[in-house]
Amino acid sequence: MRILFIGDVFGRPGRDLVRRGLAALTALHDIDLVVANVENASAGAGITRESGEALLDAGIDVMTTGNHVWDKREVLTYIGAEPRLLRPVNMAPGAPGRGTFVTRAVGGRPVGVINVMGRVFMPPVDNPFLAVDAAVAAMAAECRIIIVDMHAEASAEKIAMGWYLDGRVTAVVGTHTHVQTADARVLPRGTAYITDTGMTGPHDSIIGMAREAVLNRFLTGLPTRMEPASDNPRLQAVIIEADDQTGRAATIERIDWSADDVSQARGAADNGEPV
């Protein structure tokens, strides 16, 4: 099975890249299932029903989030009605929505997705390591393939989660920092790992936001209203190839596509060519 995990979809530029590029990426790389972190998909903060439905229509199977999940008020009702939209599993008991979902890939094969959030330099949440233990145990009998989105700031906490789950899940994929790291690898017991998948959004920015307001905040210390940037959109993701029977990952490959790459891929997919 080949799984595409798309790094934090940021604002309209990120949504547009997904809408334009996902079908071609899926066709050219023979993808069976698509997961994406969407916590910044609507104007750079949160997710609305309209954006969520558009991303699902574009071909995303399961959407994960993190600390920005509640930024758009309407998500409080949307998340209860849309089981394919997750929030971190280690939020307070009673929080709306859910932190895990079992979906079906092409051919009906079950795939478990777990969304968890770190707590180093992050808003307080329950212990992520104990929370994933319970989540993995709950779906292990049903799913050989399990994908974990570890949404966290500190690389050490994400790396710790990778080693902690090595051999128990198919992949631990980091999100939140919006900078794709060069450490994608398969750990010794078969878990694919990357510290951060990167951002699908505008890269001539400060992690997605227009530079001027963010710089002004650093220079003056005053609160500033931040706006999403638009220049240099890139689609960043990883592709994980895994054995259906064992759940072990064989490879993890990084994707970092410019808007031109997306256009070329669309042309190649239309012509049935490999890229």
Output b/e per residue, 134-149; b: 16+ Cβ within 10 A.
ebbeebeeebbbbbbb
* Nearer to Fe ion among residue 176 and residue 203 (C-beta): 176
Q: How far is the CB of 67 from Fe ion (least distance, A)?
A: 5
Q: Do residues 208 and 184 lie in contact, with contact meaning Cβ atoms separated by under 8 Å?
A: no
End-to-end CA distance of the chain: 19
- Phi and psi at 58, nearest 5°, equal -75, -15
Least Cβ distance, residue 28 to Fe ion (angstroms): 29
Options 68, 151, 176, 203, the catalytic residue:
68
For Fe ion, the binding residues in 56-85 under the rule CB under 5 A are: 66-67
Site string for Fe ion, 146-185 (x = CB under 5 A): ------------------------------x---------
Considering the complex, state which of residue 2 and residue 176 has its C-beta at the smaller distance from Fe ion: 176
Alpha-carbon torsion angle 127, 129, 131, 137, nearest 10: -160
Instruction: Kindly state the number of chain residues that form the binding site for Fe ion, as judged by CB under 5 A.
Output: 3
Please say which residue, 121 or 222, places its beta carbon nearer to Fe ion: 121
The 10 Å Cβ neighbour count of residue 131 is 20
What is the closest distance, in whole angstroms, from the C-beta atom of residue 110 to Fe ion in the complex? Answer: 28
Rg (CA), the chain: 18
Structure tokens at 153: 């700031």
Nearer to Fe ion, 79 or 145 (CB): 79
Residue 151 annotated in active site: no
Q: Residue 7 interacts with Fe ion (CB under 5 A)?
A: no
Of 246-265, which residues contact Fe ion (CB under 5 A)?
none
- Output 66 or 190, the one with its CB closest to Fe ion: 66
Task: Evaluate whether 150 touches 214 at the Cβ level (below 8 Å).
Answer: no
| Cβ contacts of 90 within 8 Å, gap of 6 or more | 99, 116, 117, 125, 126, 127, 128, 131
Shortest spacing between CB 176 and Fe ion, in angstroms: 4
Catalytic residues: 68
Residue numbers of the site for Fe ion (CB under 5 A)?
Answer: 66-67, 176
